[in-house]
C-alpha cells in the first residue's frame, strides 16, 4: 500500500466517526489558540512598550534622582529618595561635556487645566527649557516653543498638546488665549505636534511651561529628570561615564542614577523574552492535554476497530501499514486542529480590534509556525502508542473479537 492509499484509508477512518474526530480535534484547537494568542499578545506588548521607550527620543541618556539600585534593594524597608537634582547640574553636564551633548532639565507633575467652562484634571505639566525639542525629538505644529527669555523672566506662557486643544478649544484658535493651570493664568504661545496614545497614556494631554515658572507653580526647585541627547550613538557609554564623573563633583553616589535609554530597553527586552517563554510553556500545556486526548480516543478507536484490523491483516495488510494508517489519523486530527485553531485566532483578533482599536494584537507568524510544529509533533508523539498497539494485534484473535 503506497502513501496515498494509506492517507485515503486514514481519512475514511476519520470520516466514519465525524463527531468523535471533531471532539478529539477540539483539545488541539484550544491548545493552538492558547499558544498563538498568548505568544502574539506578548510580542505585541513588547513591540508597543519598546516603541514607547524609543519614542522618548533617540540616543538618550537620562539622569534620575536617587540611586535606583539601592532603592530597589531597600524597597521592602521603606526606602525614600531625597531629590538633590537641580538646574545647575544640567548646565554643568552640557558645558563640561566633551561630546557636544544637549542636556534638558525637566520638572513634571500632573495638573488641572481650564479654559472657559471646559477643563481637564489629568493633564501632564512639564517645566523645561528650549532644549526640550532637541532631546525629545518633538516639533511645534503652530506658534513657538519656550525661549531663553521665558526662562530668565519666569514668564507665564505655555505650549499645549493637541488633546488640550481639541478638548478645551474645539475649533477656535488657542494661540494667544489664556489657560488656567492649577488656577494660574498662562498665555498659550504654541501647539505641539501630535504624538498619539500608547498603553492608554495620551502623550498629547500635555502642557509645557518655562522651568522657572513650573518651579514657582509647584513650589519645587528640584528636577524630575535630566535628559541628555548624544549626537553619536557610539559615544553613549562614554557619555554615561562622563556624566557620572561630572555629577560626582557636586553630588554623591546615592543622589543620582545615570542610565542610557538602551539599558532600559535591553532590560525590558530580557524580561519580555522570559515572559514570552513562560507564556509559551503555559500555552504548550494545553497542547499536551489535547495530545493526551488524542491518545485516549485513538486507543478507544483501536479497540472498537479490532475486527477491521484483523480483516485487513487477513487480506495481506502489513504491520507497518496498519501502524501508518492509525498514526496518520492521529497526525491529521492534530494538524487539522492546528489549522482551525489559527483561523479562530484571526477571528478573535479581528473582533478584538473592533472593540479595542487602540491596542492591536498582530498574529505572529513565528507563533503560527511554532503552534503548527508542536501540534504535528503532538499528533506523532501521542499517536505512536495506539498505532503500535493496532499494528501488533494478532489477526486471528482480532477476527474473533466481539
Partners of 104 in the beta sheet? Answer: 227
- pLDDT at residue 336, rounded to an integer: 85
Q: Please spell the DSSP secondary structure of 261-301, one letter per residue.
A: HHHHHHHHHHHHHHHHHHHHHHHHHHHHHHHHHHHHHHHHH
What are the extents of the domains in the chain? 3-52+267-400, 106-226
Query: What element of type H or E holds 353?
Result: helix 319-355
Q: What is the CA radius of gyration of the chain?
A: 32
Measured distance CA(342)–CA(105) in Å, rounded: 49
How do the pLDDT tens digits run along the chain, 402 residues long?
455 655 666 566 666 667 777 777 888 888 888 888 877 777 777 777 666 666 655 688 999 998 877 655 444 444 567 889 999 999 999 999 999 999 999 999 999 999 988 999 889 999 999 999 989 888 999 999 999 999 999 999 999 999 999 999 987 899 999 999 999 999 999 999 998 765 567 788 999 999 999 999 999 999 999 999 988 878 888 999 999 999 999 999 889 999 887 665 565 666 677 777 777 777 778 778 777 877 877 777 777 777 777 777 777 777 777 777 778 878 888 888 888 888 888 888 888 777 776 666 677 787 788 888 888 888 888 878 787 777 777 766 666 655
Measured distance CA(36)–CA(42) in Å, rounded: 10
8 A C-beta contact, residue 228 and residue 63: yes
Long-range contacts of range 261-269, CB-CB < 8 Å, 24 or more positions apart?
261/53, 261/54, 261/56, 261/57, 261/59, 261/60, 261/61, 261/62, 262/236, 264/53, 265/50, 265/53, 265/54, 268/46, 268/49, 268/50, 268/53, 269/46, 269/50
- pLDDT at residue 2, rounded to an integer: 54
Ramachandran angles phi, psi of 118, nearest 5°: -95, 140
Indicate the pairing of strand 140-143 with strand 184-192. Answer: antiparallel
- pLDDT at residue 151, rounded to an integer: 95
Indicate the pairing of strand 157-160 with strand 184-192. Answer: parallel
Longest dimension (CA), the chain: 104
Instruction: Please calculate the CA angle 235-238-63 and round it to the nearest 5 degrees.
Output: 100
- End-to-end C-alpha distance for the chain, whole angstroms: 27
Long-range contacts of range 215-219, CB-CB < 8 Å, 24 or more positions apart?
215/107, 215/127, 216/154, 217/125, 217/127, 217/181, 217/182, 217/184, 218/107, 218/109, 218/125, 218/127
- Closest-CA residue to 391 (of 321, 300, 301, 305): 321
- pLDDT at residue 360, rounded to an integer: 65
Amino acid at each position: 500500500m503506497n502513501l496515498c492509499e494509506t492517507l485515503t484509508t486514514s481519512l475514511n477512518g476519520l470520516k466514519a466517526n465525524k463527531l468523535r474526530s471533531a471532539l478529539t480535534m477540539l483539545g488541539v484547537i484550544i491548545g493552538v489558540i492558547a499558544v498563538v494568542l498568548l505568544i502574539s499578545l506578548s510580542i505585541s506588548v513588547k513591540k508597543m512598550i519598546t516603541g514607547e521607550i524609543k519614542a522618548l527620543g533617540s540616543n538618550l541618556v537620562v539622569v534620575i534622582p536617587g540611586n535606583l539600585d539601592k532603592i530597589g534593594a531597600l524597597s521592602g524597608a521603606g526606602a525614600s529618595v531625597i531629590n538633590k537634582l537641580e538646574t545647575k547640574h544640567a548646565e554643568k553636564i552640557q558645558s563640561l561635556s566633551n561630546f557636544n551633548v544637549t542636556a534638558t532639565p525637566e520638572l513634571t507633575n500632573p495638573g488641572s487645566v481650564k479654559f472657559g467652562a471646559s477643563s481637564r484634571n489629568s493633564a501632564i505639566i512639564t517645566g523645561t527649557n528650549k532644549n526640550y525639542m532637541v532631546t525629545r525629538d518633538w516639533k511645534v505644529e503652530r506658534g513657538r516653543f519656550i525661549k531663553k527669555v521665558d526662562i530668565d523672566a519666569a514668564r507665564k506662557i505655555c505650549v499645549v498638546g493637541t488633546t488640550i486643544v481639541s478638548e478645551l478649544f474645539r475649533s477656535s484658535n488657542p494661540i494667544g488665549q489664556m489657560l488656567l493651570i492649577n488656577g494660574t493664568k498662562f498665555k498659550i504661545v504654541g501647539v505641539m505636534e501630535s504624538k498619539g496614545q500608547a498603553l492608554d497614556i495620551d502623550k498629547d494631554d500635555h502642557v509645557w511651561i518655562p522651568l522657572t515658572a513650573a518651579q514657582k507653580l509647584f513650589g519645587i526647585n528640584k528636577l524630575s529628570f535630566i535628559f541628555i541627547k548624544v549626537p553619536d550613538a557610539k559615544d553613549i557609554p562614554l557619555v554615561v561615564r562622563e556624566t557620572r564623573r561630572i555629577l560626582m563633583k557636586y553630588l554623591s553616589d546615592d543622589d543620582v542614577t545615570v542610565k542610557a535609554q538602551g539599558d532600559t530597553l535591553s532590560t525590558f527586552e530580557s524580561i519580555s523574552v522570559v515572559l514570552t517563554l513562560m507564556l509559551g510553556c503555559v500555552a504548550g500545556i494545553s497542547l499536551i492535554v489535547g495530545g493526551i486526548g488524542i491518545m485516549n480516543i485513538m486507543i478507544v478507536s483501536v479497540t472498537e476497530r479490532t475486527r477491521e484490523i484483523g480483516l485487513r491483516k487477513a487480506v495481506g495488510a502489513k504491520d507497518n501499514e496498519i501502524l501508518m494508517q492509525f498514526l496518520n489519523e492521529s497526525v491529521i486530527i492534530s494538524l487539522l486542529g492546528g489549522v482551525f485553531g489559527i483561523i479562530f485566532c484571526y477571528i478573535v483578533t479581528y473582533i478584538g480590534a473592533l472593540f479595542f482599536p487602540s491596542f492591536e494584537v498582530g498574529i505572529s507568524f513565528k507563533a503560527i509556525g511554532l503552534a503548527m510544529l508542536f501540534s504535528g509533533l503532538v499528533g506523532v508523539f501521542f499517536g505512536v502508542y495506539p498505532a503500535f498497539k493496532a499494528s501488533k494485534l494478532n489477526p486471528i484473535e482480532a477476527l474473533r473479537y466481539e
